[in-house]
Amino acid sequence: MLAILNKNRITTTISIGLVTLFLATSCGSSKQKEIVGYPWDIPQTKPNRTLSAAMERLYDNYLTPRPEDNELFSSFKYTELKGFDYHNGDGTISRRDPSKIIFENGKYYVWYTKRDTETAPVGASKASESTENIPSTDWDLCEIWYATSKDGLSWEEQGVAIERPLLPQVGWRSVATPDILKWEGKFYLYYQGFMEASGKKGDHCPVTASYSDSPDGPWIAANKIIVENGDKGTWDQFSIHDPYPLLYKGKIYLYFKAAYGDRPDYLVGNGLAMADNPLGPFTKHPLNPLFNSGHETALFPFKEGIAALITSNGNESNTIQYAKDGVNFNIASVSALLPTAAGAYVPDAFTSNGNGRGISWGLCHFTDMGGPNKNYSILGRFDCDLSLDIYDPKMKNTNLFLKPEVYFSQKLSVEQLERIKKDKN
């Protein structure tokens, strides 16, 4: 009897059960040779032998042992977009946090946070210096704009979708980080509605919404909080960020993000609020938060469940996760260079048919473009193969080669350099 300890359970095997393969000898005799090592040709199903914890995990935790066969593994490729002007990168124009992309009227639509301010933001740490015209963070004093595209590479900015309403309405200070729902022929934009400059106390805001008969607007503001902050002392008491609606199991599943705990050691989790109607009432899932890591919400229907890109913040950064029930997520793969604030093209986001097909491209953002004094963000395109309908082996590469300049751009801080020098003496 041999007890095998692995991460989640103790398995007692009935016998050691080493895999035994028998090879005929070259002279055709019946003499057979026992191979006791792990087989050369990776078995697709868990072999009946004792395995190390890592090899147990390979079979227990992933859809397939090889990443190239894993429908929920992908590497990511990036392309610069055509059609957006950033005022020579002086920090006064910023576009960030793209919504998921939908296809309507023969073209792709995306909504995003746009800042067009007199100056670049002063930064969260100097938020007290912000004014009616000077933004604190990159997403302060913003509006929600939208753009359309025929090919997903060249975009035409169409104009503002959601302006900042007048004080004291929800979002008077800034409206940001939108996402889109199509429900019974109408369109619903959910977004963060700031009532103070972000950075002053934290990044505090609730979620509000507007609706329209057409993706081109005009948009009517619900003019109320759609997803309330949590009770005092709970993880989402201050912020409900990145509202992200999908239609799943016939209900509106609105995933969202909250940052909790005291900075700098704060955690970011994504939770879920559900409703039968787009303007609520929304009921938060009792198991929230549903993720222990991640940042901006990026999810899509996959088979009968929901898959998620978990980018940064937490022990499970850089993973792709899957929940058969849309609630209990597990790691489906570990990848690298995941798109930040991904807004994928999700053709079946609102079908609720229990047969999600996955994603293969979308938009994301790149922040901190102009350095501390000219901070702004740009939108870019990512491509991947997290789709059941394409097979692109070039997207299944776990051996990422990055140029030395990428590594050398990760610089030691002045304090770190001092510590290293001091340690030496």
Chain residues that interact with ligand AAL, rule: CB under 6 A: 97, 139, 176-177, 192, 203, 241-242, 257, 295-296, 341
The DSSP call for residue 53 is H
Burial annotation 172-200 (CB, 10 A radius, 16+ → b, else e): ebbbbbbbbbbeeeebbbbbbbbbbbbbb
CA distance 2 to 13: 6
Is 236 or 242 the residue whose CB approaches ligand AAL more closely?
242
Place of tokens 């503001």: 221
Is 192 or 288 the residue whose CB approaches ligand AAL more closely?
192
CB-count burial class (<10 Å; 0-12, 13-18, 19+) for 303: middle
Is 199 or 280 the residue whose CB approaches ligand AAL more closely?
199
Minimum distance from CB of 120 to ligand AAL (Å)? 16
Minimum distance from CB of 308 to ligand AAL (Å)? 14
Is 51 or 309 the residue whose CB approaches ligand AAL more closely?
309
Minimum distance from CB of 265 to ligand AAL (Å)? 17
CA distance 42 to 40: 6
Report cis status (omega within 30 of 0) of the bond before 47: no
Q: Residue 178 in contact with residue 113, Cβ under 8 Å?
A: yes
Q: Collapsing DSSP states into helix, strand and coil, what is residue 2?
A: strand
- Among 57, 187, 47, 14, smallest CA distance to 110 is for 187
Contacts 24+ apart (CB under 8 A), 228-232: 229/204, 230/258, 230/284
Minimum distance from CB of 350 to ligand AAL (Å)? 23
Is 258 or 306 the residue whose CB approaches ligand AAL more closely?
258
Is 75 or 137 the residue whose CB approaches ligand AAL more closely?
137
Is 71 or 97 the residue whose CB approaches ligand AAL more closely?
97
Minimum distance from CB of 295 to ligand AAL (Å)? 6
CA distance 129 to 55: 55
Name the residue number minimizing CB distance to ligand AAL.
177
Minimum distance from CB of 51 to ligand AAL (Å)? 40
Minimum distance from CB of 190 to ligand AAL (Å)? 12
